[in-house]
Amino acid sequence: MRKSMTLTWVVSKIIIGLLLSEAIVWLAAPQRLLTPLNPDHPDYDPQTMISPFGIMPEPNSEAQRYGELNDIITVRHNSMGFRSDTDYSIIEGKRGVALFGDSFTYGFGNDQDETVSSYMQEILGEEYEVMNFGLPGWHLGQEYLLYKYHVAPKLKPEFAVFFVYPHDLTDMMSLEEIPMKPFYVATEAGALALQNFPVEITPEQYEEVLKKKKAERTEAYLSMNIFSRVLLRHSHLYSFITGAFGREKMDAQAIKDANLAPFRKDSYELFKANYQLLQGFSQNILQLGENQSTRIIFVYIPSSLQVDDSPISTASHFYNGFDPADFDFDNMNRFLMESWQEIGAGSIDLTPIFRQTKGKLYNRPLGHLSPEGSKVAAEAVAELVMGNPALS
């Protein structure tokens, strides 16, 4: 009888301990559970479509997603497929501000009211209408085409702000197995030619791509045993424990695989054509703005490694031959700022501002801007829009 009571007591203590641990992890470090909100789940719905400019969210779509901090966020898109609760049409008497960029401008990983555009609208007030044309995975070439053929002729904003992130250097010339975005190739004469615009893939072909990705997710899901699937779907503690093993090496791999090419000391020699393409786009965008009486502003958003390069030491620890001394984390922004100033474009480099700002500006290392980072960026750009010459 005493042994039975002792065993019951031990089991009860274990259960209570597990429940307390589950609650602590849920409160302190919530995990991305394996539910349909998780991109790894077979039933995850990306709610995207193919457009002449590339992949876009479906118009009038709304969904809940896991944010980068594993909280549940809401994303909503207007009738044009851009992240906004309202359609864009500049009302007479308002000053239009169009924001172009990739997932950083879109506000990936943050809630609907935690994007750069939302904070800028709040700062600038009712006199302005801030429009978010940022889209995940897009590069400056796509943004230029969107501005030229869609935004400039239809909306004619007073300001067009182009946010440039380091991956813009290499993404414009990448070629996927099934190209779903415009890209550029080098000609025999040494010039760069636009390819795949409008995007040639049909909606039916894109649907097949989505089906293939879902089949891959399903196969990976079914390869796990039922016990693991149930716990990954419901337990933050189990998800945390299984993710903790090898997390440091995974982070190091992410750093090594991240787009570090722009920060190599010899990046200009390696990517001379890409740098020239960025210069050419900047000039074309500025000229188009002048033709539309639109003021163009270029904004450089730094990688988190440019603000804090300490994670590089982790990658150096795990990978032989990975030498931090091979990198200069100010070369790309320095080159772009000089280029933009040379053509007389309004511009701002957020790198020194971010370095001087205390707080968590990124959701995680190599992640997107946090709500705080989005607000800092919005404040700096809003100052430039309102005409603060110290920032130009």
The answer to which of 4-13, 287-296, 367-376 has the lowest mean pLDDT is 4-13
- Whether the CB-CB separation of 115 and 83 falls below 8 Å is answered with yes
CA 25 to each of CA 117, 132, 237, 241, 324: distance values in angstroms, whole numbers, following the listed order: 33, 35, 6, 10, 34
How far is Cα of residue 364 from the mean position of the Cα atoms in its chain? Answer: 12
For residue 314, the model assigns a pLDDT of 64
The answer to which of 76-80, 87-91, 205-209, 232-236 has the lowest mean pLDDT is 87-91
How does pLDDT run across 223-278, given as a tens digit for each residue? 999 999 999 999 998 888 887 655 555 555 665 555 677 888 888 888 887 888 88
The DSSP call for residue 370 is -
Per-residue pLDDT, averaged over 12-29, amounts to 87
- Whether the CB-CB separation of 60 and 78 falls below 8 Å is answered with yes
Per-residue pLDDT, averaged over 155-174, amounts to 86
Q: How far apart are CA 384 and CA 375, in angstroms?
A: 14
How large is the angle between the packed helices 272-291 and 331-342, nearest 10 degrees?
Answer: 40
CA Rg, the chain, in Å? 23
Q: How far apart are CA 19 and CA 147, in angstroms?
A: 53
How large is the angle between the packed helices 116-124 and 371-385, nearest 10 degrees?
Answer: 50
The closest of 263, 257, 245, 253 to 317, measured between CA atoms, is 253
For residue 377, the model assigns a pLDDT of 98
For residue 104, the model assigns a pLDDT of 96
Q: Which helix (H) or strand (E) holds 134?
A: none
Read off the pLDDT band of 345 (50, 70, 90).
Answer: very high
Return the CATH class of domain 48-223+259-391. Answer: alpha beta
Would you tell me how many other CB atoms lie within 10 Å of the CB of residue 226? Answer: 8
Output the pTM of the full model: 0.91
How does pLDDT run across 289-343, given as a tens digit for each residue? 999 999 999 999 999 989 987 777 666 655 556 677 888 899 999 999 999 999 9
- Whether the CB-CB separation of 231 and 240 falls below 8 Å is answered with no
Residue 392 pLDDT greater than 50, yes or no: no
